[in-house]
Amino acid sequence: MTDITARQGFLLHLDSSADAAEDSVTRQLTAGFVTHWRARHGESGYRYRDLAADPVPPLSPAYATLGRRVERQGVIPMDRVDRLVRDQAEERQWSLTRPLIDELRGAHTVLLGVPMYNFTVPATLKSWIDRVSFPGAFTDPDSGRSVLEGTRVVAVVARGGGYGPGTPREPYDFQVPYLRAYFGNLGVAEENLHFVKAELTRAGDIPALARFQDLAKQSLAAAHADLTALAAPAAAVRAGGL
């Protein structure tokens, strides 16, 4: 079997902000990462999904029914799921799901633009997460290992206020802990999971946060710098250079 930690792949870029690019901090930051990545890797090997403009449909009863039927088989190759589909509704759900799973499985790096909405991730991103989380989708049937062991996830998170360690709102952060738990549970190695945070992004337009504008600028500048460093040659990433 091919070593799943050494496979080639592409950059999968997902934006989830409801704002247009000119108003979205996460869209601007992920775009900066892509610019640096393309300068090193060229135009090929890049896939993009705008989860706000083209939302992933929410799960249906047919998805849940098919998922339970598959789960009862243990871990099976995704190519065998078709044989367990029983009607048009399930066929429709699987046709919506399989391409997203294949995309995530094939990516070398996953770039996420994640603004904080009501202390957590946007519903657009949650719909994508729910759909790709099909039973056994990321477990190798032969070894039992995660096929995402060698995948790098770069989550660009923006928060209107301050949620860092020691701040009054630190306990309200259900954004970063959720994403860390989710991708860790899928088998992404901790050293391959990167969070780039832009804090206090609303300091420029919310009067109560105006006194934090300097901190906001520092946080944004640091985020840009971190993303430039993370847009490193693929060889360096696979060798643990980050």
Confidence check: pLDDT of 231 > 80: yes
Q: Average pLDDT for residues 214-229, to the nearest whole number?
A: 96
Which value, to the nearest 10 degrees, does the dihedral of the CA atoms of residues 42, 229, 124, 80 take? 60
Fold annotation for 10-238: Rossmann fold (3.40.50)
Is 1 known as a binding-site position?
A: no
Mean of all residue pLDDT scores within the chain: 92
pLDDT tens sequence across 44-65: 899 999 999 999 999 999 999 9
**Domain layout of the chain by residue ranges:** 10-238
Residue 41, pLDDT score: 86
Residue 8, pLDDT score: 56
Residue 5, pLDDT score: 38
- Give CA–CA dist 65/224, Å, rounded: 44
Is 33 known as a binding-site position?
A: no
pLDDT confidence tier of residue 233, bands split at 50, 70 and 90: low
- Give CA–CA dist 140/78, Å, rounded: 10
pLDDT tens sequence across 74-116: 999 999 999 999 999 999 999 999 999 999 999 999 999 999 9
pLDDT confidence tier of residue 43, bands split at 50, 70 and 90: confident
Pairing of the two strands 107-115 and 46-50: unpaired
Is 174 known as a binding-site position?
A: no
Is 78 known as a binding-site position?
A: no
What pTM, to 2 d.p., does this model score?
0.91
Confidence check: pLDDT of 4 > 80: no
Is 117 known as a binding-site position?
A: yes
Give the dihedral sign, CA 34/36/42/45. negative
Q: At 74, is the secondary structure helix, strand, or coil? A: coil
